Structure 1
């Protein structure tokens, strides 16, 4: 049991979040700092310096991750123990907020400082990572850096092209990374003693229940689809309604089908259409082509599999009824991943010891943690999101809640460090 009080510095945490939030794309709404952008690259210099100032040995790996290492007593003595890793990401979605991912990176750095201030020396090496590009990019790939470390960044990912016409591989080259080296950046499977990530909940469960800490039970699987509909262009004024092959109405019907599937999902299953386009895009022309992008999320892998089949069938039948041809492509972003029960127990026990209320909660959002499970037992700590809002400018978590999360993270790291083994 940890006897020493490990206390984060609330003012330092608040100031660091405010400083990092200053690196934004002024041409975009909210707190926008998308991967590969100039503000993102500039912000990472701030993160690296913050790690260095906390006493971490800082490197930039081949996957574009910023990696801070706090050597443990075992490695200093020439002994080998599996390492512990924590961290998150600092990129945002367009129009995003100031806390998503950022709390996990700056909170981990503050946890290191709090441990040092308390005189707590870990036996194992501790790694703090700012993973490259957790949010989905223009190529449709999320968690680029954590995929690289986990060994699941694939050559076909590098070949994917975005709206600019450039491939992801070429984009990595343009920002100074070697795509082939990123493919060979993997840590050995099972090489981590434990991975633990602090994050805002991004949903309303903790705030609604009044609990201060969320012990994450599972991270949702994500399946993304792109549907393309091909109809026929005709004059919008002269073509009768029953003679049209309208690609956009077929796509609109698909949007409602996707919504119905989400509404019928089990607990923590959702379906969202995030984007729709039509061509030629004129008021006076019946659309000849339409595309939509959507996703399914759930911690229930069986429901995800069934939903994919149902959507493909229903969307196809409706398109056929309208005389519109269609094509559906699926991309599995990640499978549903449970957290390690042993780590859940350590988080819950740490919260109890510190006097913080906690509740088990699932994560509907994707996280780098879902990929770190390839390297060892994985767990996550959530802190509340005000109003359940996230991926928007209004995203907010009070400093007091963040400090509680960092306190639990530091305690959990200390407890995991002492454990001989952690069951996956």
Structure 2
């Protein structure tokens, strides 16, 4: 599979697939806790309305459809005979707060549009197609991500049912209020023998495809991430009376650490990315030398060993800065996710579909997390990225052009119609 680039083909009138997808994206976006901003949070009234709408679309497309015990919207389009193993497609239908409308729903709605096209033509395949709209990928309400896909993968941790939201409602009670039975979540789990693979179409959430002038891309892996919390403690003092050479300024030390992290990651040639997204300086007064600063680090790579070595190198640099500046240092790892590679055999078939639509099969990793991180425990995974304007996501300005939505749908449909299960790839 090559990494060559090609220019986007001249735009033409989009097909009905793209028009249908955009219309439904817009319709789903009207279901929100507020008309001023899009927010569709797990197990809320808006979440239920969205689930019911997606269920209706699945049934219109010729699928049997139901809501499982965690709130996933599940549809099945039978193959040439009932009961065949299934190729699973999907994404999530929950959102962050003040969200864009494309993150998650594009994958669900595009998959439904593809099945509807097959159904209109009376086309049945030698395998079933299942579509899942995962109930909670973002983790906004209960601070626990991938709940829907973990349930399907059989890795749902039932201890999170006792987690409470900001209003004090437990997840267990919220599920019951939603009309679901939390004691049946285990029934959502699928066996590996039932699934031929899991493929997700998603907006890129980054600027690479736009920079390459390509509407779609082939995802190589979902990057692993290490998050750390650091604090530097010096001595607070009067801004006018402590000479510069005698200061133990925690904020100046943190600033040096932040620049060191940026320089380290910018010099990396394997796609490492690092972010300091939160800084808190104490006591936070204009005329006081900061005595303590806390900051976070988020380090990501599609190669776990490379990421772990990078984190160790960054920590050593921070330790050296703290020692030289006579600052006390505390660093804790707060979160660690493995990287998840996309299966080569699925990547290859996705690339074939992209090339057949006239575009270069450009490969790129996903720096953001996706439901495939959970689904890999029950099936091989693949991903298709669709270009989004400016690489903007988790933002009301998030946008996908109709022509790109149409291209993504045509690539996914071509992939599905030509899909060869793993054991038959080389036959």
Report the TM-score when normalising by structure 2: 0.82
1:82 aligns with 2:85: yes
> Does the C-alpha gap of structure 1 residues 145 and 284 become closer, same or farther in structure 2, counting only changes over 3 Å?
farther
Of 25, 46, 49 in structure 2, the residue corresponding to residue 42 of structure 1 is 49
> Does the C-alpha gap of structure 1 residues 61 and 245 become closer, same or farther in structure 2, counting only changes over 3 Å?
farther
What whole-Å deviation, never above 9, does each CA across 1:157-181 have from its counterpart, x for those lacking one? 5576776677766766665655565
Alignment check: 8 A CA contact 1:262 1:272 kept: no
> 1:3 maps to which residue?
none
> Does the C-alpha gap of structure 1 residues 204 and 82 become closer, same or farther in structure 2, counting only changes over 3 Å?
same
Deviation at 1:10, TM superposition (A): 2.9
What whole-Å deviation, never above 9, does each CA across 1:355-405 have from its counterpart, x for those lacking one? 344322222222112322222222111221222222222221111111111
Q: What residue ranges of structure 1 are gaps of 5+ in the alignment?
A: 1-6
> Runs of at least 4 residues of structure 1 off by over 4 A?
155-181, 228-254, 278-290, 417-420
Report the TM-score when normalising by structure 1: 0.83
Aligned residues: 411
Deviation at 1:130, TM superposition (A): 0.8
Alignment check: 8 A CA contact 1:265 1:303 kept: no
1:73 aligns with 2:80: yes
* Aligned equivalents of 2:167, 2:276: Cα separation in 1: 22
> 1:33 maps to which residue?
40
Deviation at 1:341, TM superposition (A): 1.8
* Aligned equivalents of 1:109, 1:392: Cα separation in 2: 25
- SS in structure 1 opposite 2:404? helix
* Aligned equivalents of 1:302, 1:256: Cα separation in 2: 23
Of 46, 49, 60 in structure 2, the residue corresponding to residue 53 of structure 1 is 60
What whole-Å deviation, never above 9, does each CA across 1:105-135 have from its counterpart, x for those lacking one? 1111111111111221123221101112222
1:125 aligns with 2:128: yes
> Does the C-alpha gap of structure 1 residues 223 and 40 become closer, same or farther in structure 2, counting only changes over 3 Å?
farther
- SS in structure 2 opposite 1:74? coil
> 1:16 maps to which residue?
24
1:381 aligns with 2:378: no
> Does the C-alpha gap of structure 1 residues 316 and 12 become closer, same or farther in structure 2, counting only changes over 3 Å?
same
Q: What residue ranges of structure 2 are gaps of 5+ in the alignment?
A: 1-14
* Aligned equivalents of 2:285, 2:187: Cα separation in 1: 47
Of 388, 393, 398 in structure 1, the residue corresponding to residue 396 of structure 2 is 393
> 2:333 maps to which residue?
329
Written as runs of structure 1 = structure 2, the 5 A alignment for 1:340-355 is 340-355=343-358
1:207 aligns with 2:210: yes
